[in-house]
Amino acid sequence: MKHHVKDLDLAPSGRLRMEWAEREMPVLRQIRERFAAEQPLKGVRLSACLHVTTETGNLARVLQAGGADLVLVASNPLSTQDDVAAALVTYDEIPVYAIKGEDNATYYAHIHAALDHKPHMTMDDGADLVGTMHKSRRDALDTIIGGTEETTTGVIRLRAMAKEGALEYPIIAVNDALTKHLFDNRYGTGQSTLDGIIRATNVLIAGKTVVVGGYGWCSRGIAMRAKGLGGNVIVTEVDPLKALEAVMDGFRVMPMLEAAPIGDIFVTSTGDINVVDTQHFAAMKDGAIVCNSGHFNVELNLPGLAEMAVGAPRRIRPFVEQYVLPDGRHINILGEGRLVNLAAAEGHPSAVMDMSFANQALCAEYMLAHAGKLEHAVYAVPEAIDQAIAQLKLAAMGVEIDVLSEAQKHYLASWQEGT
Ligand code: ADE
C-alpha cells in the first residue's frame, strides 16, 4: 500500500492517543457501530483532505467501518500529527499522505495522490482538494458523486465557485450545521487557540492586551477565552453588526491600526488577507506576539514583514520566529502564521470534533443516498441530521431536557390567543 508519512515507528503512540481521544467522541462511536453493521459507504472511494489529528484518525476508522475505500491527506502543511498518520497506515491500512512541516510542493503532491484515487466522494477542509480538482485535475471529476466541506473558509470558496457556475458536483457545507460551528468554531477554536499560544510561548495571558481580528464564531471563542484568562481583549471588525455585538459583549472595538501599538498578543481569525499588514507591524510594541487561527496564513502579511525586517527571522523557540525591525523592535510570529491551534497545539478538543465529524460521517451517508439527485451546488446539512447529533450528544453527556406538552404544541401552532 502506498503512503507518505514521517515515521511508521511512531504508530504505537498514535494509536494510544487516538484511543484517548475516542473516549470523548461518543456520538462518533455510535455511528461507527451502526456503520459497521449497515455498511452505508460500501465500495465508495473517498478522498479526505483533513487535518490529520487523533480526532480525524477516529473519523477515518468510522468511514472505513462503513465500507469506504479511503485515502487521507493533510489539509495544512503544519497540522499533521505524525504518530496518527503512522498509526492509520500501520494498524488500519489506510493510505495516508501527510507529514508535519511538509513544503508546499509535497503538500500538493499529497493532494494529487488523493485525486489519483479517483474518488466518488471528497471530504475537504479548506477546499484545496476541490479547488485543485477543478483547476488542474479535471480527470478526477469523471467518477465524482459529491462531497462535504468542513470549514468556513472552504465554504466561502465553494460558494464563490457555485456563483460563477464553476462547481461541478454537489457539496454539503458541514461547517454551517449548528452542531458544528456553534461548538467547534466557538469553543473548539477558543480553547485550542489559547492552548497553542500558551504552548508556543508560555506567556501569562492575565494582564496582557490581546487583540482579536474578527468577531465571527471562531474569533468570539478566542475573545471569550482570552478574557477568561485575564486578558484585556480588543476586537477589530469590518462588519458593523458583529462590531456592535463585540461592544455589547464587553470588548473594546477599534481599527487594527489603533490596536497595533497597544496590543501584546494579536490573533486573527477572519478568513481574509492582510488583517495584520505592514503598517500594523510597523506600529507594534517591541516583543509583540502575532499569530493566526484562520484557515490560511494569508491573514498576516508575512512577506511584507520579511521585507521590513533586518535579516532572516530567528527561531527562538519551537513555533516562535522572531523578526527584528530596523529600529531594533522584535515581532514574534507563531507557527509561521499557520493555524496556531493545530501548529503549536493539538487542534480542537475531541469533545467538539465528535459533533463536527458526526456531521461529516452522516453527510457522507446522506450524499450517497441522494447520488445523482442533487444540483451542482453547496447544500446545507439537513436539519434532521443536526437535530439527531444534538440529541445524541446530550444523551451521551447524561443531560435530559423537557418535552413539549400537547397544549404547548397547540399553543405554538395557533395564532388566536393574545394578551
Ligand atoms: N480542526 C480543528 N481542530 C481539529 C482537530 N482536532 N482535528 C481535525 N480538524 C480540526
Q: What is the pLDDT of residue 34?
A: 98
Q: What residue owns the CA closest to ligand 1's atom 8?
A: 51
For 286, residues 6+ apart whose C-beta sits below 8 A from its C-beta are 328, 329, 330
Residue 192 CA, closest ligand 1 atom number: 3
- Cα(11)–Cα(15) distance, integer angstroms: 6
How far does residue 404's CA lie from ligand 1's centre (Å)?
36
Helix axis angle, 189-201 relative to 217-228, nearest 10°?
Answer: 60
Longest dimension (CA), the chain: 75
Q: What is the pLDDT of residue 167?
A: 98
Q: What is the pLDDT of residue 413?
A: 95
Q: What is the pLDDT of residue 409?
A: 97
How far does residue 162's CA lie from ligand 1's centre (Å)?
26
Q: What is the pLDDT of residue 245?
A: 98
Residue 75 CA, closest ligand 1 atom number: 9
Q: What is the pLDDT of residue 419?
A: 84
How far does residue 229's CA lie from ligand 1's centre (Å)?
22
How far does residue 177's CA lie from ligand 1's centre (Å)?
16
51 lines ligand 1 (CB under 6 A): yes
125-172 confidence digits (pLDDT tens)? 999 999 999 999 999 999 999 999 999 999 999 999 999 999 999 999
How far does residue 5's CA lie from ligand 1's centre (Å)?
18
Say if 8-180+348-396 and 187-343 have the same CATH topology.
yes
Residue 52 CA, closest ligand 1 atom number: 8
Class of the 8-180+348-396 domain?
alpha beta
Residue from 54, 55, 88, 150 to probe ligand 1 pocket by mutation (most atoms less than 8 Å from CB): 55
Q: What is the pLDDT of residue 155?
A: 96
Q: Cβ-count burial of 20 within 10 angstroms (0-12 exposed, 13-18 middle, 19+ buried)?
A: exposed
Q: What is the pLDDT of residue 183?
A: 97
Q: What is the pLDDT of residue 355?
A: 98
Q: What is the pLDDT of residue 417?
A: 82
Which H or E run contains 325? none
Q: What is the pLDDT of residue 331?
A: 98
Q: Which residues of the chain have pLDDT under 50?
A: none
Residue 261: HSE in the Cβ half-sphere, 13 Å Cα cutoff:
3
**pTM of structure:** 0.95
How far does residue 408's CA lie from ligand 1's centre (Å)?
40
348 lines ligand 1 (CB under 6 A): yes
Which H or E run contains 125? none
Q: What residue owns the CA closest to ligand 1's atom 9?
A: 51
How far does residue 51's CA lie from ligand 1's centre (Å)?
6
The count of other CB atoms within 10 Å of the CB of residue 241 is 9
For 272, residues 6+ apart whose C-beta sits below 8 A from its C-beta are 299
- Cα(179)–Cα(355) distance, integer angstroms: 6
160 in Cβ contact with 134 (< 8 Å): no
Residue from 125, 339, 342 to probe ligand 1 pocket by mutation (most atoms less than 8 Å from CB): 342
261-278 confidence digits (pLDDT tens)? 999 999 999 999 999 999
- Yes or no: domain 187-343 corresponds to CATH 3.40.50.300: no
Smallest CA-to-CA distance from 349 within 213, 225, 202 is with 225
Tell me the domain boundaries of the chain: 8-180+348-396, 187-343
56 lines ligand 1 (CB under 6 A): yes
As a three-state string, the secondary structure of 356-396 is: HHHHHHHHHHHHHHCCCCCCCCEEECCHHHHHHHHHHHHHH
How far does residue 395's CA lie from ligand 1's centre (Å)?
23
189 lines ligand 1 (CB under 6 A): no
Ordered DSSP codes for 192-239: HHHHHHHHHH----TT-EEEEE--SHHHHHHHHHHHHTT-EEEEE-S-
Smallest CA-to-CA distance from 54 within 10, 117, 119, 110 is with 10
Residue 284: HSE in the Cβ half-sphere, 13 Å Cα cutoff:
31
347 lines ligand 1 (CB under 6 A): yes
